[in-house]
Amino acid sequence: MVLVGIVLAVGGFVTTLGAATDVDGVVPVDGAPHQVTLDGSRDRLLMHPEGSPAPDCAVRDDDGAELALEPPSGRVTYGDAGGSWVGWAVVAPTGASLELTCTGAEGLEVRVSPDPGGPGPIVGGVLSTVGGIGLALLGVVVLALVAVLYATGAPRSTTRDGDASTDRSASGSAG
């Protein structure tokens, strides 16, 4: 029970964090079209460096059809050694790649990653993490209870009732 709880807690934490750390690609904001190959079919979050203005991007699917950009369901930021990024748009891909053409401030880049948005992945990750921790703690309590009961339990007889060695009836004693 303890091990299952620990595995569940770690799995929930890693799953929740995973979407924020995955990157499909980083494209320059230079007015030229750039292809990004996607890993999976989830919605994609477009991010720009925090503190800089959001670029203007046109996103097309595999067939060349322009896809709508929607605002994210909440504020999403991600920081790594390369700096801090903030999400400004979500796109629903219809194929295995996207073509981004972005214009804006010179030297900017756009990061494309799976959208961790919506309450689903986050709530699921939090619930599995909290549930795993709870299950691990319950396992520790059960182990402690069993140890206490074993240590304070009544003496145990190794013979069955009615055996001659434990039968102290009047037939075996003299006067």
Q: What is the pLDDT of residues 10-61, one digit of tens each?
A: 666 565 555 556 788 999 999 999 999 998 778 899 999 999 999 999 999 9
**List of domains in the chain:** 22-115 (2.60.120)
pLDDT at residue 114 greater than cutoff 80: yes
Mean pLDDT of 138-149: 83
In whole angstroms, give the CA distance from residue 32 to residue 142: 62
Q: What share of the chain is helix, strand, coil (3-state, %, to 5)?
A: 35, 30, 40
Q: And the tokens for 28? A: 């320059």
Average pLDDT score, the chain: 79
Asked if 53 contacts 104 with a C-beta cutoff of 8 angstroms, the reply is yes
Task: State the Cα–Cα distance between residues 12 and 49, nearest whole angstrom.
Answer: 28
